[in-house]
Structure formats: structure tokens, C-alpha cells
Amino acid sequence: MKMDRECTVEKINIVMSTDENYVIPTLVTLSSILTSSKKGTCFHVYILCDRNFNYACRDMLKKLEKKDGRIEFTFKEIHDSRLDKAVTTAHISVASYYRLYISQMIEEERCLFIDGDMIIRDDLSEVYNTDMENDYVAAVKDLGVQSHMSEYKEYADILHIPSMDDYVNVGFMLLNLNKIREDHVEHRMIEAIGSGCKYMDQDIINKCCYGKIKILPLKYDFFTEYYGSIAEKPPDGYSEEELSHIEERACVLHFTGYFKPWICTRLKVNTLWWNEAGRVLDESVYRNIWEAALEAERKSDWSYIRGMAEKAEQVVVFGFSEIGKKVADHLLRSNVKSIAAFADNDKAKQGMTYRGIPVISAARLEDEYPNAFYIISSQNGFIPIKKQLNQMGINDCRMIRYIHKDNTYYARLDEKYTEYEKKMQG
């Protein structure tokens, strides 16, 4: 491994998984690791990717080697038909499952796995040298689960584990690769890919490694959804020391949820990501993603969605849920009279009505509403629903995604956008 002569302390093995859609966030995460690391620390970064991961993206990452001699890349291609069964969501792709293959893909004794939607703000040497004993994984208790534990109590039964108390987030993990290989844990994890777990590969790791997971302090995986509000309602499961000034002390900021920095500029905490992006990205690349984020935000405004609905002869809200009902309520309050139907793939919901609006199957859409404009209200199901509509001959210009802005969004909103958001929401 050729490294800069300044790398005199240690080598840290890092594994990340990515695809074309995540290469820029991955690059920014890596830049933050270098920015915050001690001068003498060097990194061997293994990139898990599909065999078709294009070379322009690979070169974009490899440029970091030329900029900083402390880092070296190795690309590991994964191709396994079992991944065809992987459950995905609107913002979690099949690449998320690549972490299940790590112990097969690299021969190191241990490594850190780091998601591409993170910013690292402190040196990683201490956590990397954590004593793993006989544990397979070291990770942080999932902040979302801990904050809503009452909603997850029964989920342990679904996973066939005793409790959710030590359920961890797998975005940042230290892996004891020797022990995982010794006990053949990777085989159990990979075989579970098609099991339909709600939280996908994260559920698989928690289930297969249960009882062999070392809990890391919260500072190693702090969700930005709770940035600025954690003191108002401290979750159980963490010590007072962990929670104290966590926003300032967090080593790992995890940009969870839909409002990722590269598609959202209005959240105060996202500025930290854009600052790092400005350090590592070429000016033209930075400008392009900034403009794309502004366009994505414009299309997420109610004023834009309402304007599109007003132009439509018929409107179909795809997704009969509480959020779907809120979409319909807002349109009705805005005097949009063209809501023809809700569509939903759940047969149990078909035949219901809401405010006189029927819920129908997707199969009936084109026959009954051939000129409809579609508002897809499903938060996680956007990609499969979009694909379903495309296969029915409905092109992208006839649909839009509704992104629900909840209390965590407004809690993190930069003050300069407060009045704008109120105006846009009508």
C-alpha cells in the first residue's frame, strides 16, 4: 500500500458502498474524514460497487489519492443474483445491502463501514481501536428507535430477537471481520436478503449479530433529524454524558431521512455538508448540485404542487394514507376541484372513500382517468410506484412526488426561510 511518508501512526480500513447516484455524497464524506483526521493517520478505502459502476465516478473518487497521499482506494465489485430480491425504498438502493458482503470481499481483520450520507468531524483512531473481544459489530443504538421505543416494542417479535433496547443503526459500524468469518455470520446475513425485512439490511445485521453487538457512544452516529431539538425531549437508552451538548460533540453526523443536504439547502445543519462539499468538489460540480437542490426544493413547495394540480383535468393521489389524505385536504382547501381518485395497491383499501373521493386499484387508472395528473404521496414507495406508472404508459411529466415536511424539518429550518416556507405552504 503506497502512502504518503507523513502516514506514520496507523492505517484505518474503511469500507463504503456506492453507486452513480451516491458518488458525490460519498466523496464529501471521505473529504470530511481527511479534514478531521490526525496528520499521521492513513486510510485504505474499499468501495463496494456494482460491476457497471462507471469509470468517471471511479476517477472522481480516485482524484482524492492525488490530492492527499494519506488515502488509497480499492474497488470491489459485487454481483450476486440474491440481490435481485432486495427490498429498496425511494432513498435506499440495493447498494445498501453490499455491507452484508464485507467479510467476503476484503481480507482485513477489522474495518469501519461508513455510510455516504455522513460528515465526520473528529479523528477516527480511537473508535477504530475499540476492543471488540468476541463481538461481531460495534455500533450506536438507533436514535430513531430509541426516541420512539413505544412504537417498536413489538418489532422485536417480528425480528425474533428478545428486545429492541440494543437495536443499532448500521450506517457507522466497526466490524470484527475475523470473528464474522470464523462464525460464518456473513452466510446467514446474505441468505436473509430476500426475507422482506422492513428495515432491510439493518434488520438483517441486528438479527444475525444479536448478542454480539458492542454499543458505541451516541457521538459516533448522531442523526441530524434531531439536531437542535434533542435537549427538549431526551430519548431513553443513552447516558446524560452522551446526550450533553451532543450537537457540538458529535464525531459522526448522519444525515438521515429524505432531506439530504444535496437535495435540500434550507436546513441549517445541512450547511455543514455544503461547507465540506465546497472544499472537495470542483466548482462546476458544486454549482450543478447546488442548482439541482434548488430545483428539487422548488418542486417540493406546496405552491408548485398546487399549481400543477390546478392545470390538470384530473388529479389522482397515489397512496391512500394519512399523508395522502393531507394532500387531498390541502388541494380541496386551495379550491382544486379536480381530485378524481386515490389509487392504492393495497386491496384492503380499494373501495374506500374519503370526502367522497374513491380509492381504486392502479389497474383502473388509465381506463377511468386517461388524462390524470398523479401526485405520489407514498414516502418510501415513490420509486416502485413511478416504475409501475411508467409501465402503464404514464410518463414522468404526468406525475410528481409529494415530500412530507414534518416537525423535524421545520425544527431544523434556517430562520431566513421561515417566512418563505409559510408563504409557499399557503
List average pLDDT for each run of 10 residues in the chain, which is 426 residues long: 51 94 95 93 94 92 92 92 67 79 94 97 96 96 92 89 94 97 93 79 94 97 91 87 93 93 95 96 96 94 92 95 95 92 96 96 93 92 91 94 89 90 75
Structure confidence by residue, pLDDT tens digits, 314-357: 999 999 999 999 999 999 999 998 999 999 999 999 999 999 99
CA distance 173 to 196: 23
pLDDT at 5: 42
Q: What is the pLDDT of residue 406?
A: 87
- pLDDT of 135: 97
Length of the chain: 426
Structural domains for the chain: 10-287 (3.90.550.10), 302-401 (3.40.50.720)
Got the DSSP string for 217-286?
PGGGSEEGGGTTTTTTSPPTTS-HHHHTTHHHH-SEEE--SS--GGG--SBTTHHHHHHHHHHHS-HHHH
Q: What is the pLDDT of residues 268-301, one digit of tens each?
A: 999 999 999 999 999 999 999 999 999 999 999 9
Query: Residue 86 has what pLDDT?
Result: 67
Q: Tell the residue number behind the cell numbers 378524481, with chain if given.
A: 340
Which three three-digit cell numbers place residue 63?
482524484
Q: Read off φ and ψ for residue 77, nearest 5 degrees.
A: -90, 135
Which residue type does 177 have?
Answer: L
**pLDDT on residue 87:** 66
Is the separation of the CB atoms in 25 and 75 below 8 Å? no
